Structure 1
Amino acid sequence: MTAPATASTDLLYSEAEDDLRAAVRALLADRCDAVTVLARIESGQPHDSELWKALAADMGLAGLLVPEDLGGQGASHREAAVVLEELGRAVAPVPYLTSAVVATEALLACGGSGEVAELLGALASGRTVGALALPLSLAPGAPYDVVREEGGRLHGTISGVADAAAADVLLVVADTGLYAVDTTQDGVTVDPLTALDLTRPLAAITLNGARGRALTADADTAVRRGLLAGAGLLASEQLGLADWCLTETVAHTRQRYQFNRPVGSFQALKHRLAELWLSVAGARAAARNAADALATDSAEAPLAVALAQSYCAPVAVHAAEEALQLHGGIGMTWEHPVHLYLKRAKSDSIALGTAGRHREALAELVDLQAP
């Protein structure tokens, strides 16, 4: 008896996705080179507002996940994944993951009318930057603390929030639901924290009677959707980062000579780079699968996301470590950008859940019991 045919998932990039990649890469090459990123970090103001305006407003990329009738582009997670790949390749200091993905997805779970629709339109236009006020380390489905709401006023502290300093509005989870909080009002304090990855700064938020606009009473559904999409598309950022590390390291080993021959011709290095290429190829498949599952609203999206994060996070760290080592002495300098990639990879490896946390989720999803 012949088994029934099943539809296969096309993980290849479409022509439109390739065009989108080319446009984003060209913009980043012009405005987000390593020298520019390093200069921003040294200035203590890593968020590049001009680059964000070009990406979010001029190119309309902040609204990729927002339906057209709400002011967005009506695209899918596959297109957003392509953008994040390129942002990962450039370690771009812009709040795309936090605003255009996590905060936007959380709002989409709240419905599309009234206050929510207005806020979605503002985020999609790029005029407003949003951030879900929860620790960057929080994994999808993990428990989290909430702030206290009294008469529309919010009280509490949330630490480890990514891109909070760049946000115009915070999505705050209170004991009575999800609220939108303007960061410029009295009662909101954003204190920068020392972070390993200086291109994605963290902050502690203190709310002392800040006024919040109610969005939904079902905050848990909004949080779950935002974090799941964030974790799934973070894999694409990790893929882009790992791909840059591989490409730049191969180029360096071809140009760097020892004993009158390129160091890349040494067998030990060739083996290490070949193994890294295989790892990056696997990461591409896992990241694309997660993006496609999210785009199609597949029932297996949590499985695809857990698989992608459990695989892509270690690959990105390994790729950055190999790049640092195989660049030799120059890789240890501040002027060479490889340290930016190692710090981003390490930070990403604990963002939205560690690889170990996602492996535990994966085991639960496939009913694989621990020994």
Structure 2
Amino acid sequence: MNDKDFNRVSALAGLDLDYTALKSELNSYSILAAKVAGTELSEINLLDSYTQWTVASASGNDNQKPRESAVCNYTIKEENAFETRLDLDERFKNSPYVLKEGFKFYYGIPLKLKNSITLGSLCVAGKNLEHLDTTQVEQLHLIAQQIEQYLSLKHELNIVEEQLKQQHLITRRLAHDIRSPLSGIAQLKTEQDFKAMEREDLELYLSAAVASAAAMLTLTDDILSKDTASLNTNASAYVSLTELRTKLYELYTPQATPKNIELQIDCDATSVKIPRKNLLPLAGNLIANAIKFTPSGGKVSVALHILKDQDPTRLEIQVEDNGVGIAPQTIEALTSGTARAQTGTAGETGYGLGLRFVKELGERQGGTFTITSKEGLGTKVFLRLPID
């Protein structure tokens, strides 16, 4: 288990990116890189536990491929750049993009977050090119720096949004804490007979206290109403179960189809919106893992439920497959990060990252993660996350 790789996957998930929505924001960088290099291909790729996601391409195509078959999987291991003659490199010369598409030259630059954690790559590939000159290399690295700044801004935005959310929560708690004792003071006027007590001074004092308490109650009600409105302002931070189901179909059907695996995703019929933070990487890793270890003709079933009888209310993500299953000792090794890489049912490379990542990130969000499995009979995974 490579902790560096695990940290990279966790950092990418922390950005909470919608890969299909990045094209409009990043495609201009990819087009510019192709023009600078004079190549037919230029892509911006992000690599998670299992998949290389092409989020921008000079050709306009957004696609995905298994991480192990991607040249960029080598680029992310480099400090500065990865350059190779694809047609002469033993690792790639027999690949379809060389034999069928005719690509010969590749140059890739790792894209880093805060100059430390590599998330993906900017790459160019050509059919007639054999090398880049110094000026082209410098310009490509400048483009890569702009993409890294974009990713850093996404990271900083997430931090600011989380800080704002915490401030809102603090405001709500303070308002509730103030409201309770003030409600008691306000009730004194109806529970005490000041005239019978013949304490005019006390009556005046309590009357003033009641007036102050009533004013404070009005103020705290106003704080709570405004705070609720501000929490709901950022509509993009919330998603319905139907929207989540549609997005998961869009992202993971391309992985299930080549293996002739039926991907079924069901969800509760509700219009309730839930925080979307980390939902795609969490659910996506579970689905990708199930597809990887389910044989051709198998089935992966996903169910999305809101458990209102839980305290707090929880989102349950359930992923079930009829694949090869997991031995009890292997489950412990996978979730603890000590498992060795395992090969999928179609020869896919496993990195031992997915389940550990889901377990740790889910638990950091206050959730629970459980697995039930029998070798040869499939696996069932439950992830339950508290929702606001």
TM-score by length of 2: 0.26
Which structure's CA Rg is the greater one?
Answer: 2
Report the TM-score when normalising by structure 1. 0.26
Bigger relative contact order, structure 1 or 2 (CA pairs below 8 A, ≥6 apart): 1
Please identify which structure carries the higher strand content. Answer: 2
